[in-house]
C-alpha cells in the first residue's frame, strides 16, 4: 500500500452505526472460550473447530522442513539456510525493446516509460508458451504502486520536499514509474533472470489509455473534458494487490488514488460527498504535485476525474497491444486484491478488501459462467454480476450484503439514482447496507487446497479515537493486525459454494509478540518458544500443499517492533497450523509483498518494495541491492528457490 499513513487513515470514516469487526470478534472469542472445555474430541482439528480448542489440541509437528531465520533488521535481504534468492529485475532496468538502463542523474519520462517502474508490489506468473504449465519460462506481471521521490533523485530530503520541488518534467517521470510491467523471465543455469526487450514485454503507465467497461461506462459521472464519452481514461494509479483470472489475465487494483488529486471542489459541488468519503481534499493534502502541472488531477477543473480511478483493471499479459480495461461492475474503492475463485457452478467469484481503517471486505459474483476451452469468450465476464459487502455476525456466521440498486437501502432517497451510483460510491453503499467495519482489509485470498478464504487485516492504531471501542476487546488498539478465515458453505475444497449469500468465519491468527501478554497475540501454542513473530499482515499466498505464506508491511513500526518485514510461513491445517517460520526477510525500510509461485511450487517470486524508506537518495539507510556508491536503494523482484531444486517449504 501507499504508506504515507500505514494505518490507511486517509478518508472520511465509514458510518459509525456499523458494528466494528473487533467488537464482534471479541464477543465471539469470549463465548467460544467457555465452550472449548466441553468440546474435546478427535474432531477438534477440523476446519470449523473454535480457535481456543484447536490451540489446546495442537501438538506441534510443522510440515515445513526449513530452519527459520532469526528475526533481525539489516541493510541486506536474508533467506533461510538451503535457499537462494535470485535478483530478477530492479527499478530502472530496461523492459521494452530498445530501452536503456536508468541514468540516475538524467531521468526523464520517455526513458522511464520503457524501464521497470518503481515500487513493485503484486506479482503474477504466467507460463510460456501460453497454455503451457512451464515452471522455468514465463511472463511475470508486476504492479508499480507509487513513487518515493526522495529516494529516486538527489537534493530532496523527504516526500513533502519532493512534492514542493517537483516541476512538470519530474511529475512525468513519476507518472511513467507508476502502473505495471510484463517481463519475460527464465530459469537458466539454475537461476532466474529476465529477458530485456522480450517480445511480450510491456510497460503500462499513468499515461496509458484504458477502456472503461461495465455499468459505469458512458455514465455522466465518468465524463470529463478530455473524455466527453466517459469510456476512456489515461492510466492507472497506486496499484497494490491483484489477482489472476481463470482465463489467464491480470487483475490489478487501484488503491490510494485519492493522494494524486486536490482542489476545493472536495468541499462543495455535486461530487463533494463522494470525494470526502474517499479522502480527496485540498491541494495541500495531495501526496504529489501532479495537479499543479496536469489539469485532470485538479478537481476544481475536472471534478469527475477521480471517479475514473479506484477500479479493477484487467490486462492480458499475452497480448502487449491489447488495451487494458477498467471493470466497473466490481465497484470502486481503495481496492486491495481481486483474487478469483472458480465456483462449482461455473461462476467466478472475486474477493477484495478496501485498505483503510474502518472499511469493508467485498466479493463479486459473475452473472455468466466460465467458458472452458474458449479463452476469448470470458473476456467480458467481469462486466455483469453482483457486488456484495461482508457483515460478520457474533455467532460466527457471515452475511454477504448485496450492493444492488433498490436493495438494502440503496435507493434514490439514499442518493443512489442507479447502479452506476452504487458502484462509483461503493464505500457509501456498504455503509448504508450495514457491512462490518474492518481493521484495514488488505489482501483476500482463497486457499486452493482447502477452499478457505483468508482476510489480511493489517492494523488500526486509531481504534478508540476514530472508531468505537468495546471494553471486552483485549486489543483496544490493533497495532499488530490479524487474519480472518472464512469458510464457504457446502464442504471443503472445490465443493464449497463461494457464491452463497452466507458463510462462516473464524480467526486464524492475532499477530504480535506472543511473549508479550500486552500484545494479545494468538498463534500456535509453540510460537512463543520459537522466537518468531510478525506484525501487519499484508498479503498471503499458498503453495501447492496449501500452506500459508504471509507477507508483512509494518511501515514506520518496523523499527519499534525490531523485526523485519518478510515472508512468514505456516501450515494452514493440521498439528502445525499457525506455527510460523521466517523464510525470507527484506532490508531495512522495505516491505515484502507480491508472492507468486510457479506451478511446480519450486520458485516463489517476491517483491521488495521501497527499501530504505524513511531516508533519502543522498543519505540512504541501505544501498540494496547494488551496494554501489552513488546508486540509491532500488525496489526489486527476487526469486526464492531451494538450492537443491526441491519444493519451497520442503
The model's pLDDT over 609-624, given as tens digits with 9 standing for 90+, comes to: 999 999 999 999 999 9
Percent of the chain with pLDDT over 70: 89
Q: Please give the pLDDT value at position 18.
A: 53
Q: Is residue 647 part of a domain?
A: no
Q: Is residue 384 part of a domain?
A: yes
Determine the Cα–Cα distance for residues 182 and 145; give it in Å rounded to an integer: 14
Lateral strand order in the sheet of 566-570: 78-79, 581-585, 566-570, 548-552, 537-542
Q: Is residue 63 part of a domain?
A: yes
Q: Please give the pLDDT value at position 461.
A: 82
Which pTM does this prediction carry? Answer: 0.93
Read off the pLDDT of residues 302-320 as tens digits, 9 standing for 90 and up: 999 999 999 999 999 999 9
8 A C-beta contact, residue 612 and residue 621: yes
> Which letter does DSSP use for residue 619 in this model?
S
Cα R_g (the chain), whole angstroms: 23
Calculate the average pLDDT of the chain.
90
8 A C-beta contact, residue 539 and residue 551: yes
User: Is 327 strand, coil or helix?
Assistant: strand
Q: Which residues pair with 191 in a beta bridge?
A: 188
pLDDT grade for 491, boundaries at 50, 70 and 90: confident
Q: Is residue 261 part of a domain?
A: no
Q: Please give the pLDDT value at position 359.
A: 93
| DSSP notation for 289-311 | SHHHH-GGGBTTT-TTGGGG-S-
Residue 329 belongs to what domain range?
Answer: 21-255+310-642
Q: Is residue 189 part of a domain?
A: yes
Q: Please give the pLDDT value at position 266.
A: 82
Which stretch of 22-26, 54-58, 408-412, 561-565 has the lowest confidence by average pLDDT? 54-58
> If you average pLDDT over residues 37-60, what whole number do you get?
35
Determine the Cα–Cα distance for residues 193 and 184; give it in Å rounded to an integer: 9
Neighbours of 236 (CB within 10 A): 29
Determine the Cα–Cα distance for residues 649 and 604; give it in Å rounded to an integer: 10
Determine the Cα–Cα distance for residues 442 and 242; give it in Å rounded to an integer: 11
Phi and psi at residue 52, in whole multiples of 5°? Answer: -60, -35
User: Is 25 strand, coil or helix?
Assistant: helix
Q: Give me the half-sphere count of Cα atoms (radius 13 Å) on the Cβ side of residue 443.
A: 31
Please name the helix (run of DSSP H) or strand (run of DSSP E) that holds residue 638, with its range, or none: strand 636-642
As for how many domains the chain has, the answer is 1
Q: Please give the pLDDT value at position 394.
A: 81
Whether 422 shows a pLDDT value over 80: the answer reads yes
pLDDT grade for 119, boundaries at 50, 70 and 90: very high
User: Is 339 strand, coil or helix?
Assistant: strand
Q: Please give the pLDDT value at position 22.
A: 41
Q: Is residue 270 part of a domain?
A: no
Q: Please give the pLDDT value at position 466.
A: 67
pLDDT grade for 114, boundaries at 50, 70 and 90: very high
Q: Please give the pLDDT value at position 60.
A: 55
Determine the Cα–Cα distance for residues 61 and 169; give it in Å rounded to an integer: 57
Whether 637 shows a pLDDT value over 60: the answer reads yes
Whether 51 shows a pLDDT value over 50: the answer reads no
CA 372 distance to own-chain centroid: 28
pLDDT grade for 26, boundaries at 50, 70 and 90: very low
Q: Is residue 2 part of a domain?
A: no
Tell me the C-alpha to C-alpha distance, in Å, between residue 235 and each of 143, 178, 203, 358, 382. Answer: 13, 9, 11, 28, 20
Determine the Cα–Cα distance for residues 358 and 109; give it in Å rounded to an integer: 37
pLDDT grade for 265, boundaries at 50, 70 and 90: confident
Q: Which pairing describes strands 397-402 and 502-510: parallel, antiparallel, or unpaired?
A: antiparallel
Q: Is residue 273 part of a domain?
A: no
Whether 584 shows a pLDDT value over 60: the answer reads yes
Q: Please give the pLDDT value at position 183.
A: 98
Q: Which residues pair with 570 in a beta bridge?
A: 548
Q: Please give the pLDDT value at position 475.
A: 62
> If you average pLDDT over residues 392-421, what whole number do you get?
96
pLDDT grade for 460, boundaries at 50, 70 and 90: confident
Q: Please give the pLDDT value at position 44.
A: 32
Q: Please give the pLDDT value at position 203.
A: 98
Amino acid at each position: 500500500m501507499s504508506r504515507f499513513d500505514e494505518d490507511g487513515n486517509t478518508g472520511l470514516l465509514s458510518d459509525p452505526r456499523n458494528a466494528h469487526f473487533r467488537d464482534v470478534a471479541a464477543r465471539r472469542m469470549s463465548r467460544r472460550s467457555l465452550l472449548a472445555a466441553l468440546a474435546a474430541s478427535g474432531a477438534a482439528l477440523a476446519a470449523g473447530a473454535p480457535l481456543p480448542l484447536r490451540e489446546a489440541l495442537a501438538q506441534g509437528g510443522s510440515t515445513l522442513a526449513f530452519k527459520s531465520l532469526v528475526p533481525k533488521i539489516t541493510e541486506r535481504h536474508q533467506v533461510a539456510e538451503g535457499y537462494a534468492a535470485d535478483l530478477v529485475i530492479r527499478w530502472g532496468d530496461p523492459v521494452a525493446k530498445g530501452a536503456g538502463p536508468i541514468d540516475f542523474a538524467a531521468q526523464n519520462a520517455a526513458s522511464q516509460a520503457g524501464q521497470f517502474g518503481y515500487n513493485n508490489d503484486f506479482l503474477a506468473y504466467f507460463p510460456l508458451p501460453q497454455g503451457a504449465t512451464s515452471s522455468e519460462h514465463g511472463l511475470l506481471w508486476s504492479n508499480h504502486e507509487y513513487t518515493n521521490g526522495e529516494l529516486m533523485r538527489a537534493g530532496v530530503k523527504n516526500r513533502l520536499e519532493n512534492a514542493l520541488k517537483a516541476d512538470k518534467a519530474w511529475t512525468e517521470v513519476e507518472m511513467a514509474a507508476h502502473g505495471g510491467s510484463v517481463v519475460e523471465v527464465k530459469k537458466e543455469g539454475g537461476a532466474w533472470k529476465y529477458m530485456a526487450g522480450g517480445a511480450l514485454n510491456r510497460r503500462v503507465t499513468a499515461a496509458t489509455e484504458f477502456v472503461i467497461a461495465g455499468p459505469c461506462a458512458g455514465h455522466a459521472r465518468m465524463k470529463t473534458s478530455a473524455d466527453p464519452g466517459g469510456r476512456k481514461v489515461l492510466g492507472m494509479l497506486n496499484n497494490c494487490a491483484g489477482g489472476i483470472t481463470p482465463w489467464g489475465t491480470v487483475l490489478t487494483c487501484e488503491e490510494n488514488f485519492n493522494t494524486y488529486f486536490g482542489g476545493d471542489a472536495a468541499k462543495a459541488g455535486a461530487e463533494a460527498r463522494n470525494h470526502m468519503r474517499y479522502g480527496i481534499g485540498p491541494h495541500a493534502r495531495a501526496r504529489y504535485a501532479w495537479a499543479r502541472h496536469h489539469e485532470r488531477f485538479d478537481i476544481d477543473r475536472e471534478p469527475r476525474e477521480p471517479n475514473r480511478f479506484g477500479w479493477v483493471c484487467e490486462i492480458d499479459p499475452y497480448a502487449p497491444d491489447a488495451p487494458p480495461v477498467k471493470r466497473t461492475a466490481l465497484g470502486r474503492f481503495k481496492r486491495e486484491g481481486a483474487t478469483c475463485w472458480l465456483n462449482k457452478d461455473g461462476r467466478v467469484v472475486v474477493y477484495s478488501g478496501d485498505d483503510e481503517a474502518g472499511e469493508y471486505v467485498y466479493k463479486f459474483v459473475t452473472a455468466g459462467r466460465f467458458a472452458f476451452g474458449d479463452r476469448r469468450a470470458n473476456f467480458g465476464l467481469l462486466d455483469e454480476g453482483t457486488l456484495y459487502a461482508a457483515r460478520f455476525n457474533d455467532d460466527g456466521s457471515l452475511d454477504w450484503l448485496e450492493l444492488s440498486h433498490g436493495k438494502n437501502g440503496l435507493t434514490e432517497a439514499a442518493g443512489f439514482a442507479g447502479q452506476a451510483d452504487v458502484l462509483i460510491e461503493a464505500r457509501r453503499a456498504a455503509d448504508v447496507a450495514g457491512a462490518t467495519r474492518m481493521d484495514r482489509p488488505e489482501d483476500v485470498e482463497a486457499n486452493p487446497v482447502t477452499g478457505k478464504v483468508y482476510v489480511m487485516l493489517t492494523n488500526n492504531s486509531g481504534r478508540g479515537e476514530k472508531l468505537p471501542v468495546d471494553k471486552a476487546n483485549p486489543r483496544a488498539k490493533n497495532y499488530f493486525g490479524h487474519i480472518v478465515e472464512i469458510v464457504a458453505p457446502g464442504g471443503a475444497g472445490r465443493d464449497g459454494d463461494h457464491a452463497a449469500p452466507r458463510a462462516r468465519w473464524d480467526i486464524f491468527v492475532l499477530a504480535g509478540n506472543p511473549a508479550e501478554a500486552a500484545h494479545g497475540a494468538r498463534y500456535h501454542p509453540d510460537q512463543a518458544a520459537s522466537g518468531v513473530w510478525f506484525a501487519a499482515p499484508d498479503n498471503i499466498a499458498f503453495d501447492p500443499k496449501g500452506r500459508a505464506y504471509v507477507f508483512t508491511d509494518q511501515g514506520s513500526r518496523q523499527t519499534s517492533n525490531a523485526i523485519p518485514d518478510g515472508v512468514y510461513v505456516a501450515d494452514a491445517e493440521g498439528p502445525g497450523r499457525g506455527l510460523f517460520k521466517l523464510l525470507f526477510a527484506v532490508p531495512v525500510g522495505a516491505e515484502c509483498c507480491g508472492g507468486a509461485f510457479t506451478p511446480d511450487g519450486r520458485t516463489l517470486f517476491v517483491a521488495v518494495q521501497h527499501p530504505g524508506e524513511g531516508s533519502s537518495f543522498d543519505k540512504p539507510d541501505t544501498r540494496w541491492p547494488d551496494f554501489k556508491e552513488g546508486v540509491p536503494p532500488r525496489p526489486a523482484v527476487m526469486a526464492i528457490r531451494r538450492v537443491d531444486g526441491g519444493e519451497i517449504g520442503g
